[in-house]
Structure formats: structure tokens, C-alpha cells
Amino acid sequence: MTTNPIMVHFLESEKGRAAYALYRKCPTKSNEEILNRYFQLYYVKVKMIAYFAKSLSFEAMDYDKRRRQHENRYSLLLDAPIKDENMETYKEWIVAEEPSYYEHSLHLEEVLDRQDIWEAMKLLTKNQKRTLEYAYIKDMKDTEIASEFGISQQAVSKTRQSALKKLRRRLKVG
């Protein structure tokens, strides 16, 4: 018997064993062709499996190499351990802010509970209302509002001050 691993496995397979037994029993040219054909099919299948296994192995190594390269190039500073500490990271030091009461409100009118203030708000221009919403509801600074609107910080401050002045006048009169 042979010690070649491919031959051993071929003869252990059902079709290979049957074709070999048929050829041994009746060694004709057609039985030899059948045996050779089964062996060729088996050999191609073994070669394909070996090829796919190697391809997968190389792809896995290549993927791992690209992943490590990406992590080295684009590592997050928050994930880096703090030097001379107990392997703590910076992201563990970040404190989450408490959500604002008005966080989900989109408009100033939605949070007003006094009718007289709500009526006074109707006197404001759309730009003044937006400025007040960003300043007091979204808790943004004048410089942040200015960059959002694409205007100067002084223009935002002036708009906010004039809106508040209108509201004060209306509330004193009303």
C-alpha cells in the first residue's frame, strides 16, 4: 500500500475506494479510465481547497497588517494610557454633562410659561428670536452664534441686546 497522503485519502473516500476495488477486480481499460477520472477530480478538489486555504491565510495576514497600520496612524488619544498611572485612559476622565431642562425644546415660545412674555415675543423679528433661542435655550456664546449665522460677534450681541430691550419695554408698558 502507498504512503502518499493524497493517495491514502483518495482510497479512504467512498468513490475512490469503489473505483479502485472495481479496477482491482477487473483491470480493463475502461475501469482504469474511471479510476483515473475519479482521481483527477479528487486531486483538483484537493488543490482548490489548498489554494483557498492559502488565499484565506494571506488575506487574513494582510487584513491584520492593514488594521494594525491604520490603528498606528489614526490612534485615538483618548484610548492611549496615561503615563505613570494604573493603565487608565483619558476617556475614563471625561465627565458627562447633565442634560439641560430645555435640551429638547427647539423654540423659545415652547418654554415660555407667562402669557405676557409670549405676547411680547411676537414683536421680535425672526432673527432676534433665533438669536435669543441660541443664546438662552441652546446656551451658546455670542461667538458660537456668530459662526453659526455667518455674521460678526458684535452683530449678534447688538441683535440680542435690542431684542431684550424690546421685551423689557413691552413688559413695562403691558
pLDDT tens-digit map of 130-157: 998 888 888 889 999 999 889 999 999 9
Q: Is residue 87 part of a domain?
A: no
Q: Is residue 83 part of a domain?
A: no
Same structural domain, 69 and 126: no
Q: Of the candidates 73, 91, 119, which is a domain's last residue?
A: 73
Q: What's the average model confidence in pLDDT over 84-97?
A: 64
Q: Is residue 13 part of a domain?
A: yes
Question: Can you read off the three cell numbers belonging to residue 80?
Answer: 492611549
Residue 104: pLDDT over 80: no
Question: Can you read off the three cell numbers belonging to residue 108?
Answer: 423659545
Closest CA to 141 of 131, 151, 150: 131
Is pTM beyond 0.85? Reply is no
Residue 129: pLDDT over 80: yes
Specify the pLDDT at position 91.
67
Q: CA 85 to CA 22: how far, in whole Å?
A: 75
Residue 48: pLDDT over 90: yes
Residue 72: pLDDT over 90: no
Counting Cβ atoms within 10 Å, is residue 10 exposed (0-12), middle (13-18) or buried (19+)? buried
Of 120 and 89, the one with more pLDDT? 120
* Phi-psi map region of 82: left, alpha, beta (phi>0 left; psi -120 to 50 alpha): beta
Cα 72 to the center of its chain, rounded Å = 18
Specify the pLDDT at position 112.
74
Q: Of the candidates 46, 73, 100, which is a domain's last residue?
A: 73
Q: Please tell me the total count of domains within the chain.
A: 2
Residue 107's SS3 state is coil
